A and B are shown apart, each in its own frame.
Chain A
Amino acid sequence: MTEPRRADNGNTPLLEVMDLTVHHGQLRALDRVSLRVFPGEVYAIIGANGAGKSTLLRTIAGLHQPTEGSILYDGKNMTKVRPERRATSGIGMVPEGRRLFGSLTVEENLLVGATYARKGPWTIEHVYELFGWMRERRTQRTAQLSGGEQQSVAIGRALVANPRVLLLDELSLGLAPVIVQRIYAMLPQILATGLTVLLVEQDVSQALRVASHLQCLLEGHTTLEGRPADVTPAQVEAAYFGLSQSAPGAVGEGSEP
């Protein structure tokens, strides 16, 4: 079992997941996973396909109910709260595969995202500034956009609601590496407005580049946890693939079956 992460500077975590176990029917997708995300962090979850990363994010967002465990947001227990309430409380998610509203235009997608927006720095105009190309193409149907452009709209849609914590699910999926880098390059501007980010990434090097904290999942268990500076590539590789590793100094340990 992963040791609970100590509070940095006595802060309370913005988002906390405790011993989360999630099933898909009879398949156990997550097994007693815990994590703590502190304000202003970029917390990255990595792992291979089927490791449970997206399930974790979806459960935090409320689209999936856990079998056991709890989710705390800003100290409040959110486990039984409906997804739309979580969204209006400040948990924003950019879902895997973008999931834009296909029959709506770019602008309409953003407008929908802003339907129940909280007060904050992000407006539709601000999003247009962040992604320079968007203003001219705002009346286009999203189905006509490229993958990278769609990803930008999806991020924009989540931003205009002014969330406090932003969940990013596999931004790199289906996109060329150049595009992925460009999108991740926006992250500092997003963080500068006071957001906290919890992201899921299959592209480990990309995750390592942006994360302030790291957790690796394998078949639903946590196999590694720590700061990128504190883990070696060998450790990450071992955690990712579930290989036995005799190197000392691992920050966390995986759970025994």
Chain B
Amino acid sequence: MSVVTDTSVRSEENYRVTRSRRNVAWTGAGALIVVVVLALFPYIVYSGTTSLMVQGFIVVILASMWNLMAGYAGLVSVGQQAFIGLGAYFVLILAQHSLSPFGGLPVAAIGCGVAAVPMWWLVSRLRSGYFAIATWVLATTVMLFIEKFPSIGGGTGMSLPGASGYDPTLLIAYTYWIGLAVTVLALVTVYLLLRGRLGLVLTAIRDDEVAARSSGARVGLARMLVFVVAAVGCGAAGALLALSQLIVQPGAVFTVQWTAKMAFATIIGGLGTIEGPILGAIVYMVLQQTLQSHNAWYLIILGLVAILVALFARRGLWGLIDDRLHIRLFPVGYWLWAPGSAGRRGLGKRGISPRGISPRGISPRGISHRRGGRHS
């Protein structure tokens, strides 16, 4: 009879754990350069392009928020337009009370964050698909409620007072810079959140919710935090929308099309990666501009591409790039280096990547298996 011994366990000192393969300082420097260049845009390009960039910023912010919820926390919300609309209306109301429209943005963002708490209390009573529709119902309810007030435009909307006091080009430039600032802030916030404890908790929840709970992870709190942060981000985006359009109409700010845009941009760019939403937003803007005259077409194409990507390339465009080049601009995972591997191939990536919750329930990642037994 043989003795079964396990000789595969080696001593711990031989292993290294790093945050990324390459030096993240290079990424930081690169990002800084990009931001500086972008900041100079209003001096370089026409205001038409600047306006376009603002739209792009809005999509990047929204996509990052939606990605935070769906890609990392597993929360699919189809009602984020509630916060976009609320953000826009906050700015409108504040502008009506003589607050500078730009100053309204932070207030709008925070206001949406506060509003998100009771909303979360309501919709979190349901799970996944029904949670999604509940957010939609909530958004519709908010819209119907706001439409009752003629002082802020009722059903038809109202233009932003106080904007006429500014020179148009300057107005666009200010809006642009604020948009750039908010976008950078949003991305940095998401990065820091996921890199920290919240990111670990979210991964734990996704792998095995029961185990996460019994390990002390505050599952409900983590999810609520994500929901609130996303609300703040979407509120800021909504405020930005109001500033860039100079008019707030309920049908335009509360439409579910916004969810479609942020969802598709995120999915195509890369669900569950921080870089994905940026890439997806670029794809979205390009598509929108080229197909602009055929209004419904770009959504049809986006939708079809998103479906295909969701089914066959789950980590999206960025996932494809990442798989080839192993780049992480915003590393939130860990690399495990076996002794002697000297920086060439890590033992296995434990980054945070999205895996859907298996229909049978949440299965432990360690012995994960998809239906039919094929392991991923």
Contact = CB atoms under 8 A, between A and B. Distances in A.
A and B, one complex?
A: yes
B2 A253 contact: yes
A244 to B, nearest CB: 4
A245 interface: yes
Given A63-B373, A65-B373, A24 B4 contact: no
Contacts of A244: 1-3
A27 B367 contact: yes
Contacts of B14: none
B1 A25 contact: no
Contact of B7 (A25, A243, A253, A257): A257
Contact of B4 (A221, A235, A246): A221
B148 to A, nearest CB: 45
B127 interface: no
B365 A25 contact: yes
B368 A25 contact: yes
Contacts of A224: 1
Interface string B1-36: 111111110000000000000000000000000000
Given A63-B373, A64-B373, A65-B374, A255 B366 contact: no
A250 B2 CA distance: 10
B213 interface: no
B2 A25 contact: no
Nearest to B7: A257
B375 interface: yes
A218 B369 contact: no
Interface in A231-255: 235, 238-239, 242-247, 250, 253-255
Nearest to A26: B366
B4 A25 contact: no
Contacts, number: 59
B8 to A, nearest CB: 8
B1 A24 contact: no
B367 A218 contact: no
Contact of A257 (B6, B366, B369, B374): B6
Given A25-B375, A63-B373, A254 B366 contact: no
A245 B3 CA distance: 8
A95 B310 CA distance: 33
Interface in A50-105: 59, 63-65
Contacts of A23: 375
Interface in B324-376: 348, 365-369, 372-376
Contacts of B8: 257
Given A25-B366, A65-B375, 20 more contacts: A24-B368, A24-B375, A26-B348, A26-B366, A59-B373, A63-B373, A64-B373, A65-B373, A219-B4, A223-B1, A223-B4, A224-B1, A242-B4, A243-B3, A244-B3, A254-B1, A254-B2, A254-B4, A255-B2, A257-B6
Interface of B: 1-8, 348, 365-369, 372-376
Return the 3 tightest CB-CB contacts between A and B, nearest first.
A245-B1, A24-B367, A65-B373
